[in-house]
Amino acid sequence: MKRIVFSAALLAVFSLNVLAQSGTNSPYSQFGLGVLSDQTSGFNRGMNGLGLGFHEHNQINYLNPASYSAIDSLSFIFDIGMSGQITNFEETGVKKNAHNADLEYIVAGFRAFRHVGMSFGLIPFTNIGYNYAKSQFVGGSLTTTSTNTYSGSGGLHEAYFGIGWEPLSGLAIGGNIGYLWGNYDRSLVNSYSDSYANTLSKYYTGDVRSYKLDLGLQYTARISKKDWLTLGATYTLGHKLGADPQCQVISTNKATAVSDTATYVVENGLEMPAMVSAGFMWNHNNQWKIGADYSLQQWGKIDFPEYSVVNDKPQYALTSNLFKDRHKFTVGGEYVPQENSRNFFKRIHYRAGVSYATPYIMVNGQDGPKEMSVSAGFGIPIINGYNTRSILNISAQYVRSEATGLIKENTFRINVGITFNERWFAKWKVD
């Protein structure tokens, strides 16, 4: 118990680093709650996020909390992951590159009782990070330009505690209760090269302190002597986030340096959608594990605050049709020649996966970018005189996001996760 408490305290310390990072440079993060995070661990990422039907004894699969019931009885598992990426942005023939690195997640898990496993950790939910500008000549002038500068930062994070229980052979249920927190700061500053023209600035802020509830189910059926089929499903409760987003509009007369400020607030104006996911995993002799997942996020039912001017009267109010339901399909799997072999190379896990996702945001009245991605990776055993159960998970991922007439993004990402598997709960017998 002392070790578990120490690990929880360590997670709290690392959370400072998680909060300080931004996992994206995408201009699309200026919409909604930001760019959605994968919320997957190292071994999932090798399969491009697949995992609803996986119930691993030596990995923490927080995609489906029912899987915690499969954690080894004598192990304490600590998993930490990070990523680095390079993104190429392309618009009207102009290309720009950006790169960043991020501490992605820190999670832990252990077997609490017979057929009951527990997990806790810190994972991202959304990311916001962008800074760019657009300029154009004003009217017929070839000397005076107008510049819009867009910038934003922030995102939402989740600290969760989960339990998975197997009440009947082959049937497991589970749940994660999470604390969802974070904020965003976005700005749009309009300025002119003419020193006498007024500037108009809009600043959008929001601060979230709420909860998140995920429920999971898995059922495993033996279909032959060497084959098992696991069906998995999850449900995330949609609800208001209890946040009061604010918009501040500042008009500045550059000649007199006098500013006029108007502040607008929408009470309880942010909301998280209900999410439903289902998938399966086919296991052949603990060598081949192949599966598919589908998820639906019901963003289309959610209104979001937007600033507008109606009949010369400015307003900041909840607006519909800014989002749409998000669908994601993932197919992948892994192969390991012999997991418990003494031969190092026979214990390596080979993983691959592909996915396709529709956007949840609308940009100027049209669908945002759809996302296509592919990944491949390895689970490399860490073997020494003290421990032979830990795993180094490494994967590479390529993501392409595009929509007609909008910015295209091509991202190459390297994911690294280390799963420390310690035999904490073994009872030693001395003769």
Name the token pair of 206. 């929001």
pLDDT (0 to 100) of residue 34: 94
Sign of CA dihedral 7, 8, 12, 15: positive
pLDDT tens, position by position, 187-200: 999 887 776 667 88
**Residues of the chain predicted below pLDDT 70:** 1-23, 139-142, 195-197, 254-258, 385-387, 423-431
Residue 431, in any domain of the structure:
no
Rounded Cα–Cα distance for residues 187 and 132 (Å): 11
Nearest to 12 by CA among 148, 145, 163, 157: 157
Q: Which residue carries 């998280």 as its tokens?
A: 272
Nearest to 339 by CA among 66, 100, 43: 43
Q: Which residue carries 């550059």 as its tokens?
A: 254
> Which residues pair with residue 274 across a beta bridge?
none
Name the token pair of 304. 């979001």
CATH number of the domain where residue 113 is located: 2.40.160.60
Residue 144, C-beta contacts closer than 8 angstroms, at least 6 positions apart = 137, 138, 192, 193, 194, 197
Residue 289, in any domain of the structure:
yes
Residue 44, in any domain of the structure:
yes
Rounded Cα–Cα distance for residues 226 and 251 (Å): 71
According to the 3-state scheme, what is the secondary structure of 176-235?
EEEEEEEEEEEEEEEEECCCCCCEEEEEEEEEEEEEEEEEEEEEEEECCCCEEEEEEEEE
Q: Which domain holds residue 77?
A: 2-422
DSSP state of 70: G
Rounded Cα–Cα distance for residues 137 and 115 (Å): 68
Name the token pair of 408. 């295209």
pLDDT (0 to 100) of residue 20: 47
pLDDT (0 to 100) of residue 4: 47
Residue 206, in any domain of the structure:
yes
pLDDT (0 to 100) of residue 386: 63
Rounded Cα–Cα distance for residues 164 and 366 (Å): 41
| Domain count across the chain | 1
| Residue 14 host element (H or E) | helix 2-20
pLDDT (0 to 100) of residue 255: 65
DSSP state of 28: G
Determine contact, residues 72/113, Cβ cutoff 8 Å.
Answer: no
Rounded Cα–Cα distance for residues 416 and 171 (Å): 32
Nearest to 176 by CA among 105, 242, 236, 107: 236
pLDDT (0 to 100) of residue 214: 98
Residue 427, in any domain of the structure:
no
pLDDT (0 to 100) of residue 22: 54
Rounded Cα–Cα distance for residues 130 and 133 (Å): 10
Determine contact, residues 226/284, Cβ cutoff 8 Å.
Answer: yes
What is the rounded end-to-end Cα distance, in angstroms, of the chain? 26
Name the token pair of 24. 């994206």
Rounded Cα–Cα distance for residues 178 and 180 (Å): 6
Q: What is the pTM of this model?
A: 0.90
Residue 429, in any domain of the structure:
no
pLDDT (0 to 100) of residue 21: 53
Query: Chain-centre distance of CA 33, in angstroms?
Result: 12
Question: Which phi and psi angles does 311 have, rounded to 5°?
Answer: 55, 45
